[in-house]
Structure 1
């Protein structure tokens, strides 16, 4: 009850001080507003960009490992570039061997990518043709909106069936239902068995935009585009257990070395690429950007803190006589201390709130596929920073007011 009375009384004094000189108050709050806007604005933009990037990475299976000829550049910096070209490509035979022998894998698929024009009557669409094996959907997101996914027999028999992206379906079929209709790829007829849900254009697209893809069986793709060479990228998903990726990586390395007949001292002639390494790399970059934004915003907050401290010193001087009267009527030191400290925090919170509102309005600015969201976490962080600045800025003036001699203070003019 006492705390509530102190808070209400302090709020009344703070509100009167704010109204008594609005221009002075606004100028003092400007530093806090700019500081909070800078920090929370950067944090919000970085969080939104990070979510966009992670969403893109999720489409390539973040809990999986890719077996390829080339590394993704997160290691082996001193490895001669020409040695990469000397490495053999992963083959369909290696894929079948791994599929039959891996113990730490949840699922395994082999992929290939080619570009071709998908045609239907007078309409055409330049698409990314992705050849996949049956377990592709168990590793990567393939949300089917209409129709169905491949049957295992269709993939193994290399039948001319296709799952098309939303943009391909819209261009070739318009409002017509594409299921069980035919399209042409490189002059061959394919029956459409499914349409993937529309994802929209992403800021960072890894492995292509699914809206513009056409999925077909891997063996059919190699017969059309690969001149009979059954090579591609092998993707393996780890089991959902502790250290699953590490266990899978160790097993894959041993299995691939055995399949390729490498001796103990021979170096690997393949690369094991992990999307989670890209996630960790991007997280490090985003953390650095956040720190830079915090440091820049901190300077504005310090300036705002000095402004609030200045307003509090002026407020103490203007109300010295009132402080003397309060003390003579029995007001305790902690009441005076709390009163001025509350006023400083209140002013900083007001400035911080304005900064948060500005960030919130920025979230409505369209930035293509990136959705800007002011998270609750960032809002709480902004309130905490504002409160801390208010306490620091108001501490010395509050102590000065609390320790005044009531006789001297009441005589002040």
Structure 2
């Protein structure tokens, strides 16, 4: 209890010294403020940018493997697109083959997409991505609905003309009213709206979000477009793996084996398909932003270093100014750690005030509108800023505080 009382008294001494020399305090914490502001601002921008970009690729799903002709990556070698172009596209028969035999997947689905215009009365929405789906589509990809429902099994099987439309399409075609039960025209065919997607908002890239997307049954899509073959619209088969399958290794191996058997490939023949994991895109984005974060540390590190030197310089000056007071305190029985804590707390308080000021500046910065990019100051970055401030305070103040604690009381009083 006595130790706690002495520590608290040391803190009060430090706070009193900071308040007495207010001008010097403000000037000395500016370096730390600029440094913390630079680091946390960069990290906030990087985190917000990374989250925005990753959310733009949410349509790829999570823990999903897609069957395609073109691989996402080729391990840094030349990309022989002409060879991939000659590969056969996926088919509905292969989807049914996976449905019957694939054991490592939680769900398998097939979808096919094309760009078109959706009309209702005299209104039209251009640039709609129309996607034909089957009943397993919600088991692999998220289908967040604001109103209505997903297709029933009978609607999928009978290829009925029903649709789920995006928020932007609904706002354009049916302003100020619910689109559920209304009719829209797609390539001259009438579709009844049974569902409305939740509003998603735009991303940084020109990638169609759910706001500009319309889902229809796979069979209904086939009424308007030729599906399959080299001249038709190419469908995509996707399988969702389980959380226990780390890296989706088991799912990938099983899918490769089944597809090779289905396509009649001999043991020595290479795969004429690509199994693309959606995590590849997110990992690639993450690696890019790791480099940017490292650059942020370098940029902010120099500012923090300057701020640390400034605090250390002020603390050396404070020790000299208060040498006589230190001697009196020691002569009255003050322990070395009491003097040490007194100056160390002063350095840490200086650094923390500077850090908090920098974080507050970043918080106000997050209110600036940057188009579709939302700046969000995360709790992780706040803790990081305070942690870095505390460390800088300790490192900058430990040497002056140690020198003050080791002063001889007699010589200190004479100073």
Task: Assess same fold via TM > 0.5.
Answer: yes
Report the counterpart of residue 280 of structure 1 in structure 2. Answer: 283
Give how far 1:383 is off: 1.4
How many Å separate the matches in 2 of 1:136 and 1:82? 31
Gaps of 5+ in 2: none
TM-score, reference length from structure 1: 0.94
Give how far 1:307 is off: 0.3
How many Å separate the matches in 1 of 2:130 and 2:174? 18
How many Å separate the matches in 1 of 2:76 and 2:15? 63
Report the counterpart of residue 149 of structure 1 in structure 2. Answer: 150
* Residues 270-327 of structure 1 deviation map (CA, whole Å, 9 limit, x = unaligned): 1111111212222222222222111221111111111000000000110111111111
Q: 1:144 to 1:57 in 2, by over 3 A?
A: same
* Residues 195-215 of structure 1 deviation map (CA, whole Å, 9 limit, x = unaligned): 111111123465x21011111
The more displaced of 228-237 and 318-327 is 228-237
Counterpart pick for 2:351 among 336, 348, 353: 348
Task: Supply the RMSD in Å over aligned alpha carbons.
Answer: 1.8
Contact kept in structure 1, 2:227 and 2:234, CA below 8 Å: no
How many Å separate the matches in 2 of 1:77 and 1:100? 36
How many Å separate the matches in 1 of 2:66 and 2:201? 25
Are 1:112 and 2:108 counterparts?
no
* Residues 218-252 of structure 1 deviation map (CA, whole Å, 9 limit, x = unaligned): 22213312277474111111134333721111011
Contact kept in structure 2, 1:238 and 1:244, CA below 8 Å: no
Q: Map 1:177-326; keep pairs closer than 5 Å.
A: 177-204=178-205, 208-226=208-226, 229=232, 231-243=234-246, 245-326=248-329
How many Å separate the matches in 2 of 1:46 and 1:334? 42
Report the counterpart of residue 11 of structure 1 in structure 2. Answer: 11
How many Å separate the matches in 2 of 1:6 and 1:391? 19
Give how far 1:137 is off: 1.1
Give how far 1:16 is off: 3.1
Q: 1:202 to 1:230 in 2, by over 3 A?
A: closer
Q: Secondary structure at the match of 2:377?
A: coil
Report the counterpart of residue 32 of structure 1 in structure 2. Answer: 32
Contact kept in structure 2, 1:129 and 1:216, CA below 8 Å: yes
Contact kept in structure 2, 1:144 and 1:194, CA below 8 Å: yes
Contact kept in structure 1, 2:109 and 2:237, CA below 8 Å: yes
Are 1:359 and 2:362 counterparts?
yes
Report the counterpart of residue 131 of structure 1 in structure 2. Answer: 132
Contact kept in structure 2, 1:92 and 1:231, CA below 8 Å: no
How many Å separate the matches in 1 of 2:119 and 2:273? 37
TM-score, reference length from structure 2: 0.94
The more displaced of 364-373 and 265-274 is 364-373
The more displaced of 55-64 and 147-156 is 55-64
How many Å separate the matches in 2 of 1:248 and 1:222? 29
Between the two proteins, the alignment pairs up a number of residues equal to: 411
How many Å separate the matches in 2 of 1:309 and 1:76? 49
Give how far 1:99 is off: 1.4
Give how far 1:79 is off: 4.0
Give how far 1:51 is off: 2.6
Gaps of 5+ in 1: none
Are 1:49 and 2:49 counterparts?
yes
* Residues 18-38 of structure 1 deviation map (CA, whole Å, 9 limit, x = unaligned): 233333222211111111111
